[in-house]
Amino acid sequence: MELIISQILNAVMLACTYTLVGIGFSLFFGAMDIVVFCLGDVAIAGAFAIMALSTVMGVYASLSGILPAPISGIIVVFIGACFTAGLVTLMYRAVIVPFEGKNINASLLSTIAAGIVIRELIGLFYPEGRNPHAFPQLLPAGLIGDNVLLSWRNIIIIAITFIMVMLLYWFVNRTKTGLSIQAISQNKEAAIMVGINWHRIIVITFLIGGFLLGIGGFLTASYFNSLRFDMGAMYGLKGFCVAVVGGLGSIYGAIVGGLLIAFVEVFVTAFIPGGTAYSSVAAFLIVVLFILFKPEGILGEKTVEKV
């Protein structure tokens, strides 16, 4: 029983790390009908930025001198998330805008290539970039009470994900800009005709998505306690899988998809002998099955192909 509960908790944690990047994929796909393949690398770049701020550049240490530790932690993470927001907007300008309205294969390849470039630049220019790094612990360690299962770190990761999703929900459904994003994702031409500034909304979408990605990268690095320059490739791929399983374009789908993929991975690892090696295989197989037999995902809307 203990084992199962700890595995469930494990899966929920993993789902949290997947969900934010999955939401990123859904958000951009909804707004632009485009899949930005370098999101995982952008998120990991954000984690590297946070790590740089806390270790190499010593921002965290100097902030801690004047402010209480949690607040300086929040500031550092916030700066890191702003960095990814900027980075993803840069990606939009550099590798998406040139291919707007052309064959999707071009933007598909260019975003994959951009992911490689980000990854390799980190590997080349971050000090000791190609070695794994221990991620600085900005989240408090220690257990809650005597319970072995609940540590502060786990609770905070789940709480941050929850808060982010709630904020996004509020933003998308309650603010004018958020409603414009929805309008664009449903019908771009109509949205432009009623006077929505399409370009501005797209940039805002990228900023918000990028911010979420930064938080996602931070949570992932905190969860695994380590950071590698090439983590982003797999992380981004899993995020895309999560978005597809949940329903590409649906924000809540990313949550459901994240849970499904994470549960499959964790349970294959835990309960199948020698399963560790095959947890990713199982996750990818599920995605392939989804694409073949339920391409609209769990929560996505079925579209009839227009002839």
Instruction: Kindly list the residues in this chain that would bind other proteins in the complex (CB under 8 A).
Output: 29, 35, 94-95, 98-99, 101-106, 108-110, 112-117, 119-121, 123-124, 130, 233, 237, 240-241, 244, 248, 277-278, 280-281, 284-285, 287-288, 291-292, 295, 304, 307
Q: Alpha helices of the chain — where are they, by DSSP H?
A: 2-32, 39-54, 59-66, 69-91, 104-125, 152-174, 176-186, 188-193, 198-224, 231-246, 251-271, 279-293
- Give the separation between CA 119 and CA 106, rounded to whole angstroms: 20
Least distance to other proteins from the beta carbon of 125, Å? 10
Token readout for 55 is 């270790």
Least distance to other proteins from the beta carbon of 108, Å? 6
143 beta partners: 151
Report DSSP state, residue 278.
G
Report DSSP state, residue 136.
P
> What is the C-alpha end-to-end distance of the chain, expressed in Å?
54
Measured from the CB atom, is 78 or 99 closer to other proteins?
99
Phi, psi of 295 (to 5 degrees): -60, -20
Measured from the CB atom, is 99 or 171 closer to other proteins?
99
Measured from the CB atom, is 139 or 287 closer to other proteins?
287
Measured from the CB atom, is 37 or 267 closer to other proteins?
37
Measured from the CB atom, is 78 or 284 closer to other proteins?
284
Least distance to other proteins from the beta carbon of 195, Å? 27
Parallel, antiparallel or unpaired: strands 133-134 and 226-227: antiparallel
173, exposed or middle or buried, with CB in 10 Å at 0-12, 13-18, 19+? exposed
Measured from the CB atom, is 86 or 123 closer to other proteins?
123
134 beta partners: 226
Least distance to other proteins from the beta carbon of 154, Å? 28
Least distance to other proteins from the beta carbon of 278, Å? 7
Q: Residue 122 contacts by C-beta under 8 Å, 6 or more apart in sequence?
A: 44, 45, 48, 129, 229
Measured from the CB atom, is 139 or 248 closer to other proteins?
248
Least distance to other proteins from the beta carbon of 113, Å? 4
226 beta partners: 134
Token readout for 156 is 């905070």
Measured from the CB atom, is 116 or 179 closer to other proteins?
116
Least distance to other proteins from the beta carbon of 244, Å? 6
Least distance to other proteins from the beta carbon of 139, Å? 30
